[in-house]
Amino acid sequence: MKKDRRPQDSPSPIETLRLERTQLSQAEFAVLCGIPLRTYQRWISGETEAKPTPRQWKAMIRILKIESLEEIPDDFGPVDLTDD
């Protein structure tokens, strides 16, 4: 599968972690986490609220090598940098 390494216009915290910590494309990451690709894309774009199952959370935490609760994003959608 072709790697999707393009920067995001509005970076999603979970997408940033995927890009920083893996060499997986969005499609590969979604499959390994048990998430339909289009659902994952909607989550990271902020189009829909992310509601991962416990199994999906466990897969994401393992794949992204998350070691502490502080590393888990509060939201999957784009970060609004204008609220500062």
Looking at the predicted structure, is the pLDDT value of residue 30 above 50? yes
Which position has the higher pLDDT, 45 or 1?
45
Dump pLDDT digits (tens) for 44-61.
999 999 999 999 999 999
pTM, to two decimals: 0.79
Return the domain boundaries, the chain.
13-75
Rounded to whole angstroms, how far apart are CA atoms 84 and 71? 21
CATH class of 13-75: mainly alpha
* 80-83: long-range contacts, CB 8 A cutoff, minimum separation 24: 80/10
Given a cut of 70, whether residue 71 has pLDDT beyond it is yes
